[in-house]
Amino acid sequence: MNFFSRYKFSRNAWLFIASGVFGGLGGMIFSLLMNLYLSSIGLSKETIALVNSSLSLAEGLLAIPMAFLYDRMPRKFSLFFFTALQGVVGLFFLLTSSPLFLSLSAFLLGGTFTVFLVLTSPFLVENSSPKERTTLFSFVYALNWLMGMAGNALGGYLPTLFRNLFGLTSEPESMRWALGFAAILIGLSALPFLFLKPYEHRVPKTTPPFPGPGSPETSREPPWYKRAEGKFLLALVTLTLGSGLFVSYFNLFFQTKGFSTEAIGLTFTIGSAVTVVATSIGPFLASRLGKIGAVCVTQVLSVPFFLLLAFSSNPRILASSFVFRQAFANMGGPLQDNFAMEIVSPKRRAVFASYISSIRSLSFAFMGPIAGVVMARFGFSPLFLIAAFLYFLSAVLFWAFFHGKEREASGVTPATPKM
């Protein structure tokens, strides 16, 4: 208990963090190797993009239904069951080479991951005080990237390790063993959720700075798309349409540039390490610029690196551009999600989080096939150029909508969660 008290996070928050150690490690290994595995079994870029889109489509379609179930299901059951199921589905993904069944498996994988996407932000808000919340969000994001760094480092060498250990003779077979190991880690990440306990952070009740839909305050306000939550989603969809063009395909991008699997893993590892440091700076930037100011500045700073990725052919410049683009683009992530949970009432957090998750996932699902066609016919440069424009436009929208209007939602009491 002294450890919990020293860092001022609740028991449930620490259990969530413990789960993130295994889940983040396994998830990043799976993410790093999945497209490379699909390429190794002979699938085209268009088919690989279709499989990725199936995963994102499930996340987008199921996010909102899961949010409505969120307040009707115990947190312990939903987090444990669906996280364990995700590991099982990850193993099922490796049992087929049929594009149809791979797409179906990816859809199921995305469906199980949806629960985590929907629950994370509301769960962290429910299990933290306003004073510690920015730190907790940044800590969790930094941990995810730290586990990502470890996952990328391990994932880059796992196929070679299993090939040497078990005398495997083919690349697909060694990839399959590595992905199976990752799926088992994901399944193990469900265990900490068995120890969740009912928890309510008791603070004085106040009205959130931006009332949620359905609250008395909103009855006299304009339609939702003219209010804070609608504006937030508009700026967000602009951003996610850009990221949906390229984020899932960086491993293929580096493969086309002649990078080995080990080199790709090392590049991703360095990117995660730098992003961990960048994310930890987030609370400091927020204290100086405000959450929205920090989000906008870091997003704009990522744009020049898109241009380098689009036009450079030097491996060192490409790797460095990947690292710094990722660090700047993700530095404001926890601040953005924290702010999103503050502009709606406590009872609407899960639903609003599902809107955010759905937009992100559907953007990836929608842009995936487009990216696949562009990759096959024109290469990656057009993807980076379009994404650079959308990232810049999103930063402009966030600034125009929220700069100077940001208010801290200090003292907002979270709804009592069902554990």
Cα separations (Å) of 241 from 68, 297, 386? 25, 19, 10
At what angle are helices 282-289 and 291-311 packed, to 10 degrees? 120
Cα separations (Å) of 208 from 293, 342, 350? 20, 7, 15
As given in the structure block, the two tokens for residue 360 are 């992100």
Residue with structure tokens 């690196």?
305
Of 106, 104, 113, 93, nearest to 55 by C-alpha is 106
pLDDT of residue 199: 55
73: DSSP letter:
S
As given in the structure block, the two tokens for residue 316 are 């060192």
pLDDT of residue 239: 93
Tens of each residue's pLDDT in the chain, 419 residues:
444 444 577 788 888 889 988 888 998 899 888 888 898 888 887 888 888 888 878 777 777 777 666 667 777 787 888 889 889 988 888 887 888 888 888 888 888 877 777 777 778 877 877 777 778 887 887 787 788 778 877 888 888 888 888 887 788 888 889 999 999 999 999 999 988 887 544 333 444 444 444 444 445 566 666 778 889 999 999 999 999 888 878 888 998 888 887 888 888 888 878 888 888 887 888 888 888 899 999 999 999 999 999 999 899 999 999 999 999 988 888 888 888 888 887 777 777 877 887 788 788 878 888 888 888 889 899 999 999 999 999 999 999 988 876 654 434 444 433 44
Report CA dihedral (131, 135, 140, 142) to the nearest 10 degrees.
170
CA distance 75 to 97: 35
pLDDT of residue 394: 94
Residue with structure tokens 């991008």?
253
pLDDT of residue 416: 39
pLDDT of residue 123: 81
Q: Are the C-beta atoms of 115 and 58 separated by less than 8 Å?
A: no
Residue ranges per domain, the chain?
10-197+224-402
Report CA dihedral (1, 82, 45, 263) to the nearest 10 degrees.
20
Instruction: Please state the pTM of the whole predicted model.
Output: 0.66
Which CATH number applies to 10-197+224-402?
1.20.1250.20
CA distance 179 to 372: 23
